[in-house]
Structure 1
Amino acid sequence: MWMQRIKSNLLRAFCALLGGITLIGLADLAFPPPLAKAYQISQVVLDHNEQPLRAFPLKDGRWRLKADLDKIDPAFIDALLAYEDERFYRHIGVDFQAITRASLSLVKAGRVVSGGSTITMQTARLLEPKQRNFSAKIQQAIRALQLEMRLSKREILELYLTLAPYGGNIEGVRSASWAYLGREPNVLTPDEIALLIALPQSPEARRPDLRPNAAIRARERVLKRLVTKRIITAERAVEAAQTQAPKRRDFPSFAWQASEEAQRRASALQPDIHTFLDIRLQTRLEDMAREAVSELGEKTQISAIVVDIKTRNVLASIGSAERNRAGGWLDLTNRHRSPGSTLKPFIYAMAFDEGLAAPSTQISDLPKRFKSYQPENFDRTFRGDVTISEALQHSLNVPAVQTLEAIGPSRFAASLGFAGAVPQLPQRADSDAGLALALGGVGLTVRDMALLYAALGGGGVAKPLNWIEADTTTQVREGETQTRFLSSQAAEKVINILKSAPTPQGRMPSALTKGAPQIAFKTGTSYGFRDAWAAGVSNGLAIVVWVGRADGAPRTGATGREAALPILFDAFDIASLTLRRRQEHMPVSDAEMTGSAPFTLANFEDQHQPPEILFPPDNSEIWQDEVGRGFTLSARGEGQLRWYVEGSPIPVNTYGDTVWTPKEEGFYTLEVVDKRGESRSSTVRITQHAQ
């Protein structure tokens, strides 16, 4: 009888437990934790080597960069857990042991000595902010249990480090590191670790940019606590406490328009957007464009694009030379413009494929009327009988129009669209207007021209341009294949013709310049001097340059040859050297960007050694005891040495010494370059004593 009662009691207890678990499960499903905020993340555009190009805030202006434990200094994680939640990996979201200890401390001291909130509970509060009271604490505890059932410990910790407030519109440790330290939190010093732990406790009262003294005091309290926890030594804590509070810094903003294009192509839920851009190439081309546009008129802009022919990856893209000029906020690589004569190579290539002509074919360059259309050459002179090669090299108009007539303008336009460069045709009904395609009577973008010239350099095969890694995945998934635009034979013939075209003034023919890239290029000037173009292929790259005004207004006398071609040649110099050094894992010096031929080893005995930095040594820390104090840089090397800090040249004083004056605390990369372009770099940290 008693056994039956025991079994009955056990059955009732089991049913009650099962019912309770079911009720909790149903309640959990009916009232799940609000995780929507976890997916509202600021996006960061990265270059091919994961260097940040540009960060984008949320729509409300907040910076909330997603945290990744693999990219955060482990010392910071250890210190954070020791300070905030030592039993994080052992409790279930609510640490009853910590709550008991906090309650006893409250009764004993009569005030709050330590808190009982776990990181999971704090994460719940960040997801669902409520007024701080006992009822809210109970709700946070319940939400914490729900989070522990749904997420791993790693995911909870990353979520907390993504949402933690750091003052103003800064949320998350990664955002705070960029805002206050100017870099990723992958390597942090003790003072930086302590500051990043202290700020979320009272972010507005301790903002280092607004209340530096309060930030320093809070940091010192954290440092003392970390000493008692044996995370850092007392000596290191004293040293860390002497550093000044950091100031607010700007988030990365390189490749402004190209980064917007990358974000447009990426998923809205993708926190880090990986592009094929090269930050060194991008920034050097941006500097070159700013310098060039300063000599071209107040409202003139430059846009350019660099494409790897083999992969069709976009390595650099300049939407505009300067954002403070008219149209500077627009991405002018994506605006339809008249391409002028830059389409002529493709007209002749199609003629080669159709068997209508060959490079040596004679064609007449004499006045000729095509119904109501009568083209004339740019210089208003005619040369009589010329070869197709000569007609292309000198960009003669009548032969190009005559060849297009034989091919058929509609067919030519369809071929461009089939290749992926869909032309914007003029809204006119008469068929004669179609022949104007030969001279730029159509709208195409810089991107379209880059696609076409990459196809020309890629054996006549046209492929879409790749901006982000997802582009290649999408093309494979959607079954996009390459398009045979031209035959490889026709493409090669055109390339050889363009290589022999007259070079711009001041440039020696590439065949006579040792080590210089041989460029197959074509220029173009639209009607009324509205657009100046230069496009070329060399060393596995296709580069297109456009010069003009964003509003399409004419620039009298500004031709593609005079305005755009020199920029194209400079771009090839920069790209060839930058990408060559990237392959060799070597830095590029600004001294190499002058357009001179690169140094080559003359013979086996010529064993040149790169310069050696004597001061400051690599990975060193320098104390700047007063603002404005400079440091004399020292290096040993051949010939005159030039110094750069973060890519900018450091001037020499009247005594011939290179004196560098850091403007603020932080990490800097110094680079010294010798006369041959060989370089060495040194990374140093500047620390200033608190005043």
Structure 2
Amino acid sequence: MSRLNEADRRPKLRRWVQETASPWLKRIGKPTWVRVVAAGGLLATGLDLAFPIRTTVPYATLVTARDGQILHAFLSRDDKWRMYAELNDITPALRDAILFKEDTYFRYHPGFNPVSLLRAAGRNLLNGRRTSGASTITMQTVRLLEPRPRTYASKLIELLRAVQLEIRLSKDEILQLYLNLIPYGGNIEGLKSASLLYFGKPPALLSLAELTTLTIIPNRPSSLRLGQNNARIVQERNRWLARFRSAGLYDDATIADALAEPLTAYRRAAPQLAPHLARRLRAEYPEVPIIRSSLHPAAQATAERLVQNYANRIRALNIHNAAVLVLDNRTHETVAYIGSADFANTLDGGQVDGVRAVRSPGSALKPLLYGLAFDGGQITPKTKLADVPTNFGGYAPSNYDQRFNGPVTAEFALANSLNIPAVALLNDIGTSTLVATMRKAGFSTVKKQARDLGLSMILGGCGVTLDEMTRLYAGFANGGVVTDGRLTPAAAGQQTAGSRILSAEAAYLIGHTLTQITRPDLPNNFDNSYHLPRIAWKTGTSYGRRDAWSIGYNQRYTIGVWVGNFSGVGVAELSGANTATPLLFQLFNALDYNAPSGWIRPPRTLAMRLICPETGDIPGDSCLNPITDYYLMGVSRHRYCQHRKPIWTNQTGTLAYCAHCRPDSGAVRRMYPNLAPNVLAFYQAQRIPVARIPPHNPACERVFGSGGPLITSPSEGSEYYINPRQPAELELSCQAPNDVETVFWYLNDKLYRKASPQEAVFFKPRPGALKISCADDRGRHTDLRILVRAE
């Protein structure tokens, strides 16, 4: 705070005299001396208001760990190492030493010592020059706050200011302020700064010899420089220790130990641990001199060492950086925070905070999608999903390994990170539902991208940060409730607010699935999987292999790992399984090696039921070997299995009958697979034998069916641009039931060609609106329309 300027000060003083002082003085009667004393008091109060003493100074910012250990120190705004010493930093031994040396009667005088002033004045007059100043600690504090030339007029001002300071602050606060300002040479000010930078420890841990050393330096900071004049400092220190013994300040044994202690002080570097978090906290709390973070110093140091060593090993693969965030699931506090492998490495962007950098998540968002599907009742863990080639309105995703698995269970699809089932689920649930859930979970970048996000977002087509992703997985560990990760410890009794994004049942099913170890994202070497921790984890690899993710949790911790290059350069060897997961396992084994072997218990409302393994639905008449599966009571769909359907055929099974043409005798009821068209097309393309429904009785005069073939190319409502001079061919393809042998393609209601359902047909389009129809040999048909434009 700066002093009031003259224009502001005079009106304020005038108003105070008119409104407060004059009426009060008029009410005071005789005797005169009472009025004089009262007037003096009022005048002093008025001057104090008009000329306040500035007691706020810019301190160096200190960021500490949860236990108070200093992790990082910043220079003050005026480039000083001026660290704030709290009252508990002033130990009784330090207090006794500094008061004995500087101001024995500090506790009793009003800011100045009259006896000392008279004695100093007499000595100065007798000697004809200034030999003694008689400054108290309060007066020295004023001089440090408001430096002035060393004159008698300055001394008088300091005296008055000292009285003013005594009125405003307690004795302990004045002593604290003094110890925060005393100089130690260069840009080091304050006893705490000197203690940390010269002895590498806080003031509370100083020995008597060390604190005595620090009490004598401020009187001669230029000639007694620690690290340069240590021998001379030891002589001066021992002289004062002898005076302490003569005064009986400490016992003889303590003094003897202090006299024998060598002086090993030298200038040390300021603490620089957790640099990314320290800068983040300093930006959030710019005026707080000591910011207490939630970091655990041992966990932070261990994580920093592991990340740096791991980054050194993978640098040969042209992968240069990594970031790690460790959260405590119980307190929601940040335990370790590593923004990059090496903060000092400017070539590889070491000062970029990878915890808050926006990156592509790859497949790491899939657990959230499956959780929403569990809660929506669409699936249970053993519901069958189709992992077959599928076109979603022009978007045809493929799996990471470019293979398809056919019908798979939902838990298999999630554990193996299959893309097509995930996109199909998102298509059913809707991108708006997923985006709304992510916004509720605190994904800030997704809020900005919401209008442009489509089905590809579940495969990494959106922006997230490691901070957001780790908090999301911590929400899975906490039963579906996502909370803001705390960077500072919570106050006693303070509750951290959270947002429920999933039910406890869905969160448990996610963790139950992600603990499976028979999955492709397990590291492919023995060293990384030998000490496998009991965790639920999921990996992700972004498009172009620019980002590798691995995020896992157990009952105690959630750890998020990102590996890649801040430059955005992709690397062929980069993957979540083989690049990020090994570091994740190392961190869990180092930070929580002796964790309890138990796991998160399932909620009581999560029940078991019998289902058909072919579909995951309630067993029907044709389901012979039912198994058990979890389900959400009152939520999961209750649908009976129809994986096989009855068909009436002739004795040889070469013709199928409908209800209108079935003969009165000789017909046989047979069961055939009831496959979706896209699954049947996949089986046929892979040449997997499937019992097909025989062709319908040609003598039947009636044809019944629910719908025509499913046109998979082109896409409904799409626009295609062609070069009229050299038009590219467009593909016509469809998926039809297994009882269809021939399909007929029509362009603008004109027959173009007949083909088998599995055959791809090509044609050269012309600019304009085009109607495409596909009919099967049962009389069923499907239409769609596209628009062809000339470039």
Report which structure shows greater RCO (CA 8 Å, sep ≥6): 1
Inter-partner Cα distance in structure 2 for 1:445 and 1:132 = 58
Aligned mate of 1:483, from 488, 499, 508: 499
Write the mapping of 1:518-529 to structure 2, written as runs, cut at 5 A: 518-529=534-545
Number of the residue aligned with 1:360:
382
1:378 has 2:400 as partner: yes
Q: Give how far 1:470 is off.
A: 6.0
Question: In structure 2, the residue corresponding to 1:545 is in which secondary structure?
Answer: strand
Q: 1:278 to 1:333 in 2, by over 3 A?
A: same
1:264 has 2:283 as partner: yes
Write the mapping of 1:258-407 to structure 2, written as runs, cut at 5 A: 258-266=277-285, 268-297=286-315, 300-325=320-345, 326-407=348-429
Inter-partner Cα distance in structure 1 for 2:595 and 2:276 = 22
Does the CA-based 8 Å contact 1:460-1:487 persist in structure 2? Answer: yes
Q: Give how far 1:11 is off.
A: 2.3
1:539 has 2:555 as partner: yes
Inter-partner Cα distance in structure 2 for 1:275 and 1:429 = 37
Question: In structure 2, the residue corresponding to 1:340 is in which secondary structure?
Answer: coil
Q: Give how far 1:224 is off.
A: 4.0
Q: 1:108 to 1:232 in 2, by over 3 A?
A: farther
Number of the residue aligned with 1:422:
444
Amino-acid identity (%) = 36
Inter-partner Cα distance in structure 2 for 1:242 and 1:504 = 54
Number of the residue aligned with 1:251:
270
Aligned mate of 2:167, from 142, 149, 156: 149
Tell me the alpha carbon deviations over residues 378-415 of structure 1, each in whole angstroms, 9 at most, x when there is no partner: 11111111111111111111111111111111220111
Of 229-238 and 42-51, more deviation after overlay is shown by 229-238
Q: Which amino acid aligns with 1:292?
A: Y
Of 306-315 and 528-537, more deviation after overlay is shown by 306-315
1:178 has 2:189 as partner: no
Number of the residue aligned with 1:60:
78
Q: 1:522 to 1:491 in 2, by over 3 A?
A: same
Does the CA-based 8 Å contact 1:421-1:444 persist in structure 2? Answer: yes
Number of the residue aligned with 2:147:
129
Number of the residue aligned with 1:119:
137
Q: 1:472 to 1:400 in 2, by over 3 A?
A: farther
Inter-partner Cα distance in structure 2 for 1:59 and 1:321 = 28
Number of the residue aligned with 2:177:
159
Number of the residue aligned with 1:605:
none
Does the CA-based 8 Å contact 2:528-2:585 persist in structure 1? Answer: no
Write the mapping of 1:563-602 to structure 2, written as runs, cut at 5 A: 563-577=579-593
Of 437-446 and 271-280, more deviation after overlay is shown by 271-280
Inter-partner Cα distance in structure 2 for 1:472 and 1:483 = 21
Q: Give how far 1:425 is off.
A: 7.0
Does the CA-based 8 Å contact 2:549-2:581 persist in structure 1? Answer: yes
Q: Give how far 1:492 is off.
A: 0.6
Aligned mate of 1:461, from 481, 484, 504: 481
Write the mapping of 1:184-203 to structure 2, written as runs, cut at 5 A: 184-203=202-221
Bigger-Rg structure (1/2)? 2
Q: 1:322 to 1:186 in 2, by over 3 A?
A: same
Q: Which amino acid aligns with 1:244?
A: L
Tell me the alpha carbon deviations over residues 467-524 of structure 1, each in whole angstroms, 9 at most, x when there is no partner: 1136999x86xxx8421100111111111111014332346999x97xx641111000
Q: Which amino acid aligns with 1:203?
A: P
Q: Give how far 1:545 is off.
A: 0.2
Q: Give how far 1:103 is off.
A: 3.2
Q: Give how far 1:199 is off.
A: 1.1
Inter-partner Cα distance in structure 1 for 2:35 and 2:275 = 63
Q: 1:509 to 1:407 in 2, by over 3 A?
A: farther
Does the CA-based 8 Å contact 1:208-1:245 persist in structure 2? Answer: no
Does the CA-based 8 Å contact 2:535-2:552 persist in structure 1? Answer: yes
Inter-partner Cα distance in structure 2 for 1:188 and 1:554 = 52
Question: In structure 1, the residue corresponding to 2:72 is in which secondary structure?
Answer: strand
What's the Cα RMSD here? 2.6
Inter-partner Cα distance in structure 1 for 2:393 and 2:432 = 16
More helix by share: 1
Does the CA-based 8 Å contact 1:265-1:468 persist in structure 2? Answer: no
1:24 has 2:47 as partner: no
Number of the residue aligned with 1:549:
565
Inter-partner Cα distance in structure 2 for 1:109 and 1:136 = 21
Inter-partner Cα distance in structure 1 for 2:133 and 2:551 = 66
Q: 1:114 to 1:225 in 2, by over 3 A?
A: farther
Number of the residue aligned with 2:707:
none
Tell me the alpha carbon deviations over residues 96-142 of structure 1, each in whole angstroms, 9 at most, x when there is no partner: 11222333444566776654100000000011011111111111100
Does the CA-based 8 Å contact 2:99-2:106 persist in structure 1? Answer: yes
Q: 1:322 to 1:394 in 2, by over 3 A?
A: same
Inter-partner Cα distance in structure 1 for 2:131 and 2:152 = 17
1:35 has 2:51 as partner: no
Q: 1:76 to 1:554 in 2, by over 3 A?
A: same
Aligned mate of 1:45, from 60, 63, 66: 63
Q: Give how far 1:57 is off.
A: 1.7
Q: Give how far 1:226 is off.
A: 2.8
Aligned length in residues: 561
Inter-partner Cα distance in structure 1 for 2:165 and 2:256 = 35
Does the CA-based 8 Å contact 1:463-1:481 persist in structure 2? Answer: yes
Q: 1:200 to 1:489 in 2, by over 3 A?
A: same
Tell me the alpha carbon deviations over residues 589-644 of structure 1, each in whole angstroms, 9 at most, x when there is no partner: xxxxxxxxxxxxxxxxxxxxxxxxxxxxxxxxxxxxxxxxxxxxxxxxxxxxxxxx
Of 271-280 and 236-245, more deviation after overlay is shown by 236-245
Q: Give how far 1:575 is off.
A: 1.7
Number of the residue aligned with 1:611:
none
Inter-partner Cα distance in structure 1 for 2:432 and 2:393 = 16
Q: Give how far 1:176 is off.
A: 0.7
Does the CA-based 8 Å contact 2:512-2:536 persist in structure 1? Answer: yes
Q: Give how far 1:188 is off.
A: 2.3
Q: Which amino acid aligns with 1:177?
A: S
Inter-partner Cα distance in structure 1 for 2:282 and 2:594 = 25
List gaps (5 residues or longer) in structure 2.
1-27, 597-791
Inter-partner Cα distance in structure 2 for 1:62 and 1:578 = 44
Q: 1:238 to 1:137 in 2, by over 3 A?
A: farther
Does the CA-based 8 Å contact 2:66-2:489 persist in structure 1? Answer: no
1:84 has 2:102 as partner: yes
Does the CA-based 8 Å contact 1:280-1:578 persist in structure 2? Answer: no
Inter-partner Cα distance in structure 2 for 1:227 and 1:129 = 35
Does the CA-based 8 Å contact 1:205-1:214 persist in structure 2? Answer: no
Q: Give how far 1:20 is off.
A: 2.1
Question: In structure 1, the residue corresponding to 2:549 is in which secondary structure?
Answer: strand
Aligned mate of 1:15, from 31, 35, 55: 35
Inter-partner Cα distance in structure 1 for 2:133 and 2:152 = 13
Question: In structure 2, the residue corresponding to 1:334 is in which secondary structure?
Answer: coil
Does the CA-based 8 Å contact 2:438-2:446 persist in structure 1? Answer: no
Does the CA-based 8 Å contact 1:314-1:465 persist in structure 2? Answer: yes
Question: In structure 2, the residue corresponding to 1:523 is in which secondary structure?
Answer: strand
Q: Which amino acid aligns with 2:559?
A: I
Question: In structure 2, the residue corresponding to 1:168 is in which secondary structure?
Answer: coil
Write the mapping of 1:497-516 to structure 2, written as runs, cut at 5 A: 497-501=513-517, 502=519, 503-506=522-525
Number of the residue aligned with 2:776:
none
Does the CA-based 8 Å contact 2:275-2:343 persist in structure 1? Answer: no
